[in-house]
Structure 1
């Protein structure tokens, strides 16, 4: 049986629970907790610590891509959608239709939306970068206010780095 570990990161928009094994991160989800519950322990695997550090760099505006090992549990279609999501550049947005077209399934817009909603690797697989074809914010498991914050954060970091 694979040992599962948890580590919480206190972000500016709430506690994020990192779950993983010695090999890879399995989920990064916003917690309902208002404070950290899962602290770094001597047995916390390095991959969880690296994820924590990279999230911290992201929120500080110093990281645009993630390099730690993660595993996506889902159908082949879901994994294809999630992989396509990682192609949306930092501070840019796309739509379900854009993703459907990019994976060669232009009629599967609703299925893409469903797969997007099942993403368990928040921020790293950037489902927050998906907006409606009309330019409006669409649903986000972490809450629309968090999605809006993340998009603004990325835009502000790009502008800050261009101008500073």
Structure 2
């Protein structure tokens, strides 16, 4: 069990670091959106690359920050039953949810997205706009990175739930 606890802590640290860095994208998005409004209404300029960078930033923030949100238990949950359970009951729900719902869904996303992402990489897909960003293939790669990060964080959370169940069973 000490190895699993150490693994869980390492995964948590990894998710926290990624979350810390991608959180700065929120500030970039606000500033870029402000710059676009000024460029459009003051100078009459449309900046396609800047518009796409806001979209890319949002995708990065959402898809790379999801594992950190999971680590912090920040995802939406219907607490009708969960709140009434004992800590042991909550640990069972968490363990089952991670092992039988979240991880299988993420594996499905990973498997179903692979060909789509590989196709984008094979042509180094870029923006449809001539002045857009040439990195669409990198953006689509988030469809692979997102489920991997979520699986890792879900494993960490499942380990913590199993440790809690073992500790409460020993009492």
Task: Give the strand-richer structure, 1 or 2.
Answer: 1
Q: What is the TM-score normalised by the length of structure 2?
A: 0.26
Which structure has more relative contact order (CA 8 Å, sep 6+)? It is 2
Q: What is the TM-score normalised by the length of structure 1?
A: 0.27
